[in-house]
Amino acid sequence: MIIIKSDKEIEKMRQAGLVVADCHEMLADYIKPGVTTLELDRIAEDYIRKQGAYPTFLNYQGFPNSICSSINGQVVHGIPDNTRLEEGDIISVDLGATLNGYVGDAARTHGVGVISPEAQKLIDVTRESFFKGIEFAREGNRLSDISNAVQTYAESFGYSVVRDYVGHGIGRNMHEDPPIPNYGRPHHGPRLRRGMCLAIEPMINEGTYDVEVLPNDWTVVTQDGKLSAHYENTIVVTGKGDPEILTLRGNQ
Ligand code: MG
């Protein structure tokens, strides 16, 4: 069941979303060669708690940390550890914050130092595919119109769209209905309505869309070892006009 949020609830989603947006912006300055993903996790957790929020990922279904840090061929759900980022890596950081009972969820992919033009292009196309998708996040459309727009854009560059992991509704819980694939035929699925809060999160691979889970039961990697990028925001459908992006400030 898709839970429609009232204006009062959307205001709370907005507050939670800004904690996430600002945390990403703050964290970006620390993403440099030599930093460990565990250090990034600590910095993010401290920041979120200082805002009076709770890092939603921590202990979520047993996840041990506050951010997911996924490097290069890791797609999502990478566990922070003592791995040091190296010049030329790309890293996806996914994080959530719960404030006054409502959740914001967003992901960004960063280059570490100087990265290859190919890696930068994957990051840019992944980000842009989100914006192509949310063009359709308005009343009168159906959910898969978003999915199809993401897929069409990403595949036009020869990239593939991960099938096994999808976006989701969001509110009091991080994962609510509906699941939101980043692929599929248009004009299917639920009709979009004002007050629907959605986490749209393209996961785009350089090579095959096939993925596998490492023996730690969390980290998802590309089967062919090629790069993967992730970009996500929590949005709210406002009506027939533009959706509002709740986890973005400025131009991240
Ligand atoms: Mg999400």
- Convert the pLDDT of each residue in 80-100 to its tens digit: 999 999 999 999 999 999 999
Domain count, the chain: 1
Residue 70 lies in a domain: yes
What is the mean pLDDT of the segment spanning 140-162? 98
Query: Domain for residue 181, yes or no?
Result: yes
Please give the distance, rounded to the nearest whole angstrom, from the Cα atom of residue 143 to the centre of ligand 1: 16
Tell me whether residue 250 is in a domain. no
DSSP state, residue 209: S
Q: What is the 157 CA–ligand 1 centroid distance (Å)?
A: 24
Residue 92's CATH number: 3.90.230.10
Angle between helices 117-134 and 143-155 (to 10 degrees): 160
Cα 120 to middle of ligand 1, angstroms: 22
Q: Output phi, psi for 134, to 5 deg.
A: -75, -10
Is 121 domain-assigned? yes
Is 252 contained in some domain? Answer: no
**In 29-70, which ranges are continuous DSSP H helix?**
37-50
Tell me whether residue 164 is in a domain: yes
**pTM exceeds 0.85, yes or no:** yes
8 Å CB contact between 92 and 228: yes
Compute the distance from residue 233 Cα to the ligand 1 centre, in Å. 8
Report the helix count and the strand count for the chain, using DSSP H and E: 4, 15
Q: Provide the residue type at 187 as one letter.
A: H
Q: Tens of pLDDT along 7-60?
A: 999 999 999 999 999 999 999 999 999 999 999 999 999 999 999 999 999 999
Expressed as residue numbers, the domain containing 107 is 7-245
Using the mean position of ligand 1's atoms as its centre, give its distance from the Cα of residue 169 in Å: 9
Q: How far is the CA of 156 from the centre of ligand 1 (A)?
A: 24
| pLDDT score, position 179 | 98
Q: How confident is residue 250, by pLDDT bands cut at 50, 70 and 90?
A: confident
With beta carbons less than 8 A apart as the criterion, state whether 170 and 176 touch: yes
Q: Is residue 218 part of a domain?
A: yes
Ligand 1 centroid vs 176 CA: distance in angstroms?
Answer: 10
State in Å, rounded, how far the first CA of the chain is from the last one.
31
What whole-number distance in Å separates Cα of residue 143 and Cα of residue 65?
Answer: 31
Let me know if residue 2 belongs to a domain. no
